Structure 1
Amino acid sequence: MANASQQREKRVILEMGTGNDLYGLDYTKAASRAIQDALHHSSIVLFKSLGYDHTLMRVQVTIGVQEPDKVDTQALVAELPRGRAEVTAVQGGLNVEDPEQDTTHVIATAAVEAFLPDLAQDWRLSESP
């Protein structure tokens, strides 16, 4: 169940991305690349256009990898450029085995969601002249 502050939030952005680490079995590196891929799909002009402080934004990142416990979520939080960030790693993504090279390629997926306080009560249609 969402807490009271989250119940008054609206999701304003959802971006997805993928990333990989081809030779190091580094789940955090693959996750970081997935987040960067998602972020490069967005240009958030909302804050400057409406005069909002980006600290109003809560950013929830969900990372899918085959071994979620190997993701350093705090390191990923530190990489996020805006808002109050939370990162969660869950089962997902892919491990692609390459027996000829005796290596495993790690593929991560990321969903980056941004939430703002519900400010609908602050907006109203102007009356027609």
Structure 2
Amino acid sequence: MSEQRFIIEMGMGNDQYGQDYTKAAARAIEDAIRHSAIPMFEATGLSSDQMRVQVTVGVQAPERVDCAALAENLPRGQATVTAVQGGLDVTNPDTGKVLVIASAAVEAFLPKQAEKAS
């Protein structure tokens, strides 16, 4: 059965002091999902277990992101998280410390529903 994307949200997060790419990514995901409410589950009787959640996070060091830990923390659906090259690293010229900035796209998919007869 084919799927249909029904929501996409974007978010941004950072870690100002710890240079932790997973923490910055988690904050970007949280920023994206905190802007969403999905009342259709209550309205239609569909289960959120049927929803596939696909998250893409962009950071300068994608290999340093714990994608499995991020997926476990998503509140609904069957989640996968992928880290890709993106985001920003901004170096403080006074201290040499790096501010890690991540961006996230959170997409949700459901199996296509039967079309309503006219």
TM-score with structure 1 setting the length: 0.89
Structure 1 unaligned spans of 5+: none
CA shift, 1:64, in A, is 0.2
Point out the structure with the larger helix share: 1
Distance 1:102 1:85 in 2: 36
* Residue of structure 1 equivalent to 2:15: 21
* Residue of structure 1 equivalent to 2:65: 71
* Residue of structure 2 equivalent to 1:124: 117
1:97 pairs, out of 82, 91, 94, with: 91
Question: For the aligned residues, what is the CA RMSD?
Answer: 0.9
Amino acid at match of 2:117: R
CA shift, 1:89, in A, is 0.2
Query: Equivalent residue of 1:41, what SS?
Result: coil
CA shift, 1:102, in A, is 1.9
Say yes or no: does 1:54 pair with 2:79: no
Structure 2 unaligned spans of 5+: none
Distance 2:117 2:106 in 1: 29
Higher mean alpha-carbon deviation, 70-79 vs 112-121, is at: 112-121
Aligned length: 118
CA shift, 1:43, in A, is 0.6
CA shift, 1:27, in A, is 0.2
Query: Equivalent residue of 2:84, what SS?
Result: strand
Structure 1's consecutive aligned runs of 4 or more residues displaced over 6 angstroms after TM superposition are: none
